[in-house]
Amino acid sequence: GLGFNIVGGTDQQYIANDSSIYVSRIKKDGAAYLDGRLQEGDKILAINGKDLKDLRHKDAVELFRNAGYYVSLKIQRRLQPQNGPVGHRGDGESGGLPLAAILVPGVALAATAVWILLRYRQRM
């Protein structure tokens, strides 16, 4: 395949009131990843000169599957981050909470547990 996943279409809008096709995930070591130009969140306007406007999701997928060996994409780069299920940021994990939002409370909880354990053992 081309090494990326898409979202959107007239029947599966990724962004409210926008039936465009977007790159949701770039597969590591796939063709798009190795080429390096396509980015997650890019809007794909056309493939091999065929406009993607007003297509159902499955029809867009079929165009990509039948694109051939040499593929030309017309894209619109996303300028600002948007809320939504745009995929990984190069680390293989889905977008969402920043790592610090998970690590800081986790480390604090672990430190508290160790402190309680040590105090409990001192009383025995």
What are the start-end ranges of the H helices in the chain? 31-35, 57-65, 99-123
pLDDT tens for residues 81-109?
Answer: 556 655 444 444 444 445 555 556 666 66
Cα 53–chain centre separation: 21
Is residue 26 classed exposed, middle or buried when 0-12, 13-18 and 19+ CB atoms within 10 A define those classes? buried
**Predicted confidence (pLDDT) at residue 42 exceeds the cutoff of 70:** yes
Is residue 47 classed exposed, middle or buried when 0-12, 13-18 and 19+ CB atoms within 10 A define those classes? buried
pLDDT of residue 93: 41
Kindly state whether residue 55 falls inside one of the protein's structural domains. yes
User: What is the reported pTM?
Assistant: 0.63
The whole-angstrom separation of Cα 63 and Cα 84 is 24
CATH number at residue 21: 2.30.42.10
Kindly state whether residue 122 falls inside one of the protein's structural domains. no
Kindly state whether residue 109 falls inside one of the protein's structural domains. no
Domain count, the chain: 1
pLDDT of residue 82: 57
